[in-house]
Each structure stands twice: as structure tokens, then as C-alpha cells.
């Protein structure tokens, strides 16, 4: 009963102020202003939705379709996928010069890659690496593009005090590194 009374009182006050404004400004002016405010709200809502969609598109990544050599069920396919990953590492570094990955200077037909040497990480375990990657990504869903690679401490090293990735030959990892590499590189601080 108390809520009904309060709601009724609010409606009466609202109607009173509405009538007072109409009396002071005139009915035509009141409805013109009301229409203008409604149109402004509609435009603001459209702009908000547009900005929201634009931001979501910026954070999305294209995950490539899995190739047959990436589905290794035999030893030969496993070897082939390793060779292709090594070739992709070289191509990715050559194409992007991404600051978060260790430079791959040379690849001998994918059998052997020559990279810059880094210091081993001994202050983190795989969970700490995963949290760092997850917390410094544009979108918290992006690290799941290759969760195995991004959660292994053996895939990372230190280079002059900066965290860098050593094993980045996965095609699904490339869009992630292109979008997040700079941020992952610049936000890193060695834990004390």
C-alpha cells in the first residue's frame, strides 16, 4: 500500500510539473521541445550502438581455418606441421617485425630456425604467463586462439629485460600477436 501511494504521488508531481511547464512555455513549445529531446535520444542511442559495434570489430580476430598438416595423427604429419610452423615463424617475423617475438633470422627450409638468444624465464609458472597474456590483451577472449602456446613458459624468454615469445609458428596466433604484441611488449615488468 505504501509503494502504491508513493508511486501515485510521484505521478501527480510529474503531471503537475508537466502542466506548469506547458502553461509557462505554451503547449506547442512544450511538444516541440519534447520531440527534439526524443530525437536527440534516438540519435545518441544510434551513435552508441555504432561505436559499440565498431569497437567490437576492432577487437575481433580472424582465426584461420585449420590446414590438414596441422591435424597431426601420424609421425609424418607431426614432422610436416613442425616444418610448416618454423617456416611460418620466419615469414611472420619478416613480414611484421613484431616487437613481442624473438627475431627469426634464418630458416633452413623449416628444418632449422636461427633466432636471437634470450634468457630463460624462471620467475613465472605457466599460470602466471597465462594471466599476464590474458590481462594485457585487447579482448579477454583473444588468448584462447592458441591457449596451449600462450600458457607455456618455455615459449617465452627475456631479451634485455623485455618479455618476448620464442615459439610463435601457429597460424592462429599471428592475428593475436599483430593486435596485442606491442601492448604485451611495453606493459611487461620483471616481478620482484
Domains of the chain, by residue range, sit at 2-59, 68-186
Confidence of residue 44 (pLDDT cuts 50, 70, 90): confident
- The predicted model scores a pTM of 0.60
Q: What is the pLDDT of residues 65-118, one digit of tens each?
A: 666 656 666 777 777 778 888 888 888 888 998 888 888 888 888 888 888 888
By DSSP bridging, strand 156-159 and strand 104-108 are unpaired
Give me the mean pLDDT over the 53-68 stretch.
68
- For the chain, counts of helices (H) and of strands (E): 6, 5
Between 166 and 2, whose confidence is greater? 166
Cell numbers linked to 119: 634468457
Count CB neighbours of 187 within 10 A. 12
Contact 177, 101 (CB under 8 A): yes
Question: What DSSP element (H or E) covers 80?
Answer: helix 75-96
Q: What is the pLDDT of residues 128-177, one digit of tens each?
A: 888 888 888 887 777 777 777 787 888 888 988 888 988 888 878 888 88
Amino acid at each position: 500500500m505504501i509503494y502504491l501511494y508513493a508511486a501515485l504521488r510521484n505521478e501527480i508531481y510529474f503531471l503537475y510539473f508537466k502542466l506548469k511547464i506547458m502553461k509557462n512555455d505554451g503547449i506547442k513549445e512544450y511538444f516541440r521541445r519534447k520531440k527534439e529531446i526524443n530525437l536527440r535520444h534516438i540519435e545518441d542511442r544510434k551513435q552508441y550502438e555504432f561505436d559499440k559495434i565498431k569497437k567490437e570489430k576492432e577487437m575481433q580476430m580472424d582465426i584461420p581455418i585449420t590446414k590438414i598438416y596441422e591435424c597431426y595423427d601420424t609421425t609424418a604429419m607431426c614432422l610436416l606441421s613442425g616444418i610448416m610452423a618454423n617456416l611460418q615463424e620466419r615469414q611472420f617475423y619478416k613480414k611484421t617485425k613484431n616487437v613481442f617475438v624473438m627475431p627469426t633470422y634464418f630458416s633452413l627450409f623449416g628444418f632449422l630456425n636461427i633466432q636471437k638468444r634470450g634468457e630463460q624465464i624462471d620467475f613465472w609458472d605457466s599460470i602466471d604467463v597465462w594471466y599476464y597474456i590474458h590481462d594485457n590483451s585487447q579482448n579477454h577472449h583473444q588468448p584462447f586462439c592458441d591457449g596451449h602456446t600462450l600458457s607455456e613458459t618455455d615459449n617465452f624468454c627475456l631479451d634485455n629485460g623485455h618479455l618476448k615469445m620464442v615459439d610463435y609458428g601457429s597460424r592462429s596466433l599471428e592475428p593475436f600477436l599483430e593486435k596485442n604484441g606491442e601492448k604485451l611488449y611495453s606493459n611487461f615488468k620483471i616481478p620482484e
